[in-house]
Amino acid sequence: MTTPEDFLARPSLRERGWILEQLRNETVGGVLLLIAAAVALIWANSVWSDTYFAFVQTEIGPPWLSLPISAWAADALLAVFFFVVGLELKHEFVLGSLSKPARAAVPIAGALGGMALSAAIFFLINSTAVDGSTRGWGIPMASDIAFGLAVLAVVGRRVPVALRAFLLTLAVVNDLGAIVVIGIFYSSSFSIWWILACIACFAVYWFAQRRRITSVYLYVPLALLAWISMYESGIHATIAGVVLGLLTRVRNDPGEVRSPADRVGHRLHPLSAGFCVPVFAFCVVGVSLTSIGLSEVLATPIALGVIIGLVVGQPIGVVVASWVVARFTKASLAAPLVWLDVAAIGLLAGVGFTVPLLIAEVAYGDSPLELAAAKTAILAGSITSALLASALLVTRNRHFSAIALVEERDEDGDGIPDVYQQEPGR
């Protein structure tokens, strides 16, 4: 039996159930995300490309808040996605892998290492190039859990739950880092009155959670008001979703089957993964590759920074930082996993899509050519990382299958893997 200090130890039975539920939604969402992106690329490069760009730029909404469809997708639909991220963050910090410092140190270090090295690579390439632009340094920092899990669904079905949990934790910490970066470095001029209105909304939401109020007639208008206030404040509107998620109660009351975070997450996660993120991808991925010259675009400093940051910076940063912290804290890698398995997950961390595309829109929205270069590079870097991760995972599938035989055996058919009944302490 592994000790609590082991890195990538088998999660508890309760945590295993929560992780598998999150991963199921994300896997389906990842497949829909890929389909939506493919449709957008095909449409944007077809003879009907004008209709695609006319559609995503069509303005809708009330007169006081009329925005293009692409902007609604980035600011409103992704607010739902970030609300779910906030719920996952709250769960991880209170009940999950980030609730105990000894267990959280290695995955947090891995996520921060991948983010820091990828951003440094982008900045170095673009700061030393004559035609470089350092504004997009945050683009290669973010991973995409849905895209990564779609890869696992195809080539890594037998990957142990502990490794999947590590990928989920990397993505959650990564999302938190990206949220901080967007909020601090990619927001426009601030309006103090709208910020105060945001704070008031958050305070009412927190108070309602403390008083155990459950009425949707309070929470839905309150969430909309918080989103509008955040949008008008100059801070990116998606931050409102994260804050509301973090303020949602995650612990069960006595006699309560599910906490509010679990109930809301169970309802919104399929909507986020199956609709909001794919629609966002459809609205922003479309790039006319025939009109910009693919080879020329991929040779620009922006594209090179994004691709090298994702393909090289993320995996090296994840593995090296994890290894250093594991050595420093004397946390051993739980048998029968090896550091090659961590490297495979590090490669999947280089699959960036949703959040990198959002940062690209914010960083280069006023420069169509630079934006096209960033988007094209995100696609190229993510596909390359996915292919490299797939090749490595395939070589480990036999080993993973042997682990799965132990972790999933349920000879008495009670729905609980036998390994957990043999380890009552877990």
Whether 208 shows a pLDDT value over 70: the answer reads: yes
Predicted confidence (pLDDT) per residue in 104-142, tens digit: 788 889 999 999 999 999 999 999 998 889 999 999 988
Whether 279 shows a pLDDT value over 70: the answer reads: yes
Q: What is the pLDDT of residue 4?
A: 42
User: Which of residues 349 and 404 earns the better pLDDT score?
Assistant: 349
User: Which of residues 224 and 67 earns the better pLDDT score?
Assistant: 224
CA atoms within 13 A on the CB side of 238: 34
Q: How far is CA 412 from CA 145, 330, 397, in A?
A: 34, 37, 27
Predicted confidence (pLDDT) per residue in 345-380, tens digit: 899 889 888 889 889 988 898 888 898 899 999 989
Of 74-83, 187-196, 292-301, which gets the smallest average pLDDT? 292-301
Predicted confidence (pLDDT) per residue in 221-258, tens digit: 999 999 999 989 888 888 899 999 999 999 988 888 88
Percent of the chain whose pLDDT exceeds 70: 90
Q: How many angstroms separate the CA atoms of 119 and 115, rounded?
A: 6
Q: What is the pLDDT of residue 55?
A: 94
CATH architecture of the domain with range 16-187+236-406: Up-down Bundle (1.20)
Q: Provide the angle, in degrees to the nearest 10, between the axes of the packed helices 339-348 and 161-185.
A: 40
SS3 140: helix
Conformational region of residue 2, where left means phi above 0, alpha means psi within -120 to 50, and beta covers everything else: beta
Q: What is the pLDDT of residue 2?
A: 42
Average pLDDT over residues 253-277: 88
55 CB burial (10 A radius; 0-12, 13-18, 19+): middle
Consecutive H or E run containing 189: none
For residue 336, what are the contacts with CB-CB under 8 A and spacing of at least 6?
399, 402, 403
CA of residue 336 relative to chain centroid, distance = 28
Answer yes or no: are the C-beta atoms of 197 and 372 closer than 8 Å: no
Mean pLDDT of the chain: 85
In this prediction, residue 284 has a pLDDT band, given cuts at 50, 70 and 90, of confident
Residue 135 DSSP symbol: G
Q: How many angstroms separate the CA atoms of 188 and 201, rounded?
A: 21
Answer yes or no: are the C-beta atoms of 130 and 13 closer than 8 Å: no
Bridge partners (DSSP) of residue 60 are 67
Residue 363 structure tokens: 């960083």
112-128 b/e (C-beta count within 10 Å ≥ 16 → b): bbbbebbbebbbbbbee
Taking the model in full, what pTM does it have? 0.83
Of 130-144, 206-220, 248-262, 404-418, which gets the smallest average pLDDT? 404-418
Torsion of CA 46, 284, 157, 390, to 10 degrees: 70
Nearest to 16 by CA among 107, 130, 101, 95: 95
Of 263-272, 289-298, 382-391, which gets the smallest average pLDDT? 289-298
Q: Where are the beta strands (DSSP E) in 41-100?
A: 59-60, 67-68
Predicted confidence (pLDDT) per residue in 298-342, tens digit: 889 999 999 999 999 999 999 999 999 888 887 777 767 788 888
Q: What are the residue boundaries of the structural domains of the chain, listed by start?
A: 16-187+236-406
276-308 b/e (C-beta count within 10 Å ≥ 16 → b): bbbbbbbbbbbbbbeeeeeeebbebbbbbbbbb
Predicted confidence (pLDDT) per residue in 15-27, tens digit: 777 777 766 666 7
Nearest to 359 by CA among 59, 37, 82: 82
